[in-house]
Chains A and B, each alone.
Chain A
């Protein structure tokens, strides 16, 4: 079964850091671009960033709202995706989804992990 499972969410104070993980299974992880998408409570979807595959040199892109604070990485040997979040703000509170990209479409989504930034 093709699956993405996120972990690492929780409560963190403003200015703090958190690292999310995503475990992939059921497909050739190394072939795909991988993204993070978030959704604040009661709001729409917001793309966070992307990491490309080895063929494309693992290059990354980020939304302006997180650039310089968030870092996406991957470990193809572990079929894992990561999101390092630093200098967290209250507006980063959201459900964070790990997403598989296939020709620009997000065809597989994890169940999401909640990140709450609050004092």
Chain B
């Protein structure tokens, strides 16, 4: 199975900050990488698919990049509603999610 290592596991940031989260795959997955946002008590929400494509309705301050084994989720200017936990996920059978990154104030 492909293992996903996400970092950092948590970070503290302020409104307006640029935030970067990374995800590393144990083997090349081309661009088959998705990002999700989860707020407490809610189901996750798809933000980015195929490494860099913005899901419909997701604000443009979110962006994704990378291919092969190294991927990045960037929030260009953190907003109050962005404080949440973020997960990466490879688009493969027998999926393993990244461990998550909690973005806190």
**Taking beta carbons and an 8 Å cutoff, which residues of A are in contact with B?**
35, 37, 44-47, 50, 61, 63-64, 97, 103-107, 109-112
Give the interface size class of chain B: 20 to 34
Contact B34 A105 (CB under 8 A): yes
CB distance from A50 to the nearest CB of B (A): 7
Contact B49 A44 (CB under 8 A): no
CB of A32, distance to nearest CB on chain B (Å): 14
Whether the pair A61, B43 counts as a contact (CB closer than 8 A) is no
Task: Write out the residue numbers on chain A whose beta carbons fall within 8 Å of the beta carbon of B87.
Answer: 44-45
- Chain B residues proximal to chain A, CB less than 8 Å: 1, 32, 34, 36, 38, 43-46, 49-50, 55, 87, 89, 91-100
Is A109 in contact with B43, judged by CB distance below 8 angstroms?
Answer: yes
Chain A positions within 8 Å of B93 at CB level: 50, 61
- B interface, over-half SS: loop
Which residues of B have CB within 8 Å of A47?
94-97
- The DSSP consensus for interface residues of chain A is strand
User: Is B97 touching A103 in the complex (CB atoms < 8 A)?
Assistant: no
Task: Report which of A35, A50, A97, A106 forms a contact with B46, defined as CB distance below 8 A.
Answer: A106
- Residue of A50, A64, A97, A104 with most partner-chain B CB within 10 A: A104
A109 CA to B45 CA, complexed, in Å: 7
Q: How far is the CA of A33 from the CA of B99 in the complex (A)?
A: 24
Best-buried of B36, B43, B89, B97 by chain A (most CB within 10 Å): B43
